[in-house]
Amino acid sequence: MSQELREIAIRLKIGDYHRHIFLCVGTTCCSEDIGGAAWKKLKDELKARNLSLSEGPSACYRTKVQCLRVCSGGPILVVYPEGYWYGGMTEDRIDRFIDEQILAGRPIDEWIFARNPLSNQEH
Ligand code: FES
């Protein structure tokens, strides 16, 4: 593997995260404005709470995607390793999501429409 990629991974703290959040901003499950606002809020809040480029049990890697193949009721968000799939994740829901799901580890059942937890065993 190239030294450049290793250095990028170190800079991004890949290897230190406990969670990875994917948020769909694709225009089939929500409008561009709604998806963009949700992404900005998620990004800003994770930074403001020191959960981005961070370490520890609540540290989160975040990724903006164009489609998670659900294509309805967006913005769609999925968080791993729990594998909780959230619908309707508009900007106004992000604070509660971070408080309860990320910091307290407590899923918000009324916003979750599917569950697909992944094993954390190393291969
Ligand atoms: S466009 Fe968001 S899930 Fe397909």
Q: What is the pLDDT of residues 57-93, one digit of tens each?
A: 899 999 999 999 999 999 999 999 999 999 999 999 9
* pTM of the predicted structure, to 2 decimals: 0.93
Q: What is the CA radius of gyration of the chain?
A: 15
Please report the atom of ligand 1 found closest to the CA of residue 28.
Answer: 1
**In 12-114, which ranges are continuous DSSP H helix?**
32-48, 94-96
Q: How far apart are CA 32 and CA 29, in angstroms?
A: 9
Residue 123 in any domain: the answer is no
Which of 68, 78, 85, 90 for mutating ligand 1's site (highest number of atoms within 8 Å of CB)? Answer: 68
Ligand 1 geometric centre to CA of 12 (Å): 26
Domain span at 105 = 17-115
Residue 104 in any domain: the answer is yes
Residue 82 in any domain: the answer is yes
Is the predicted pLDDT of residue 123 greater than 80, yes or no?
no
Q: Does residue 88 line the site of ligand 1, with CB under 6 A?
A: no
> Tell me, what CATH number does 76's domain have?
3.40.30.10
Q: Does residue 28 line the site of ligand 1, with CB under 6 A?
A: yes
Residue 4 in any domain: the answer is no
Residue 100 in any domain: the answer is yes
Residue 35 in any domain: the answer is yes
pLDDT of 122 reads 57
Chain position carrying tokens 């971070």: 98
Q: How far are the Cα atoms of 17, 20, 62, 119, 120 from residue 123, in angstroms, in the given order? A: 18, 19, 23, 10, 9
Residue 92 in any domain: the answer is yes
**Count of domains forming the chain:** 1
3 phi-psi bin (left φ>0, alpha ψ -120 to 50, beta other): alpha
Residue 52 in any domain: the answer is yes
pLDDT of 120 reads 59
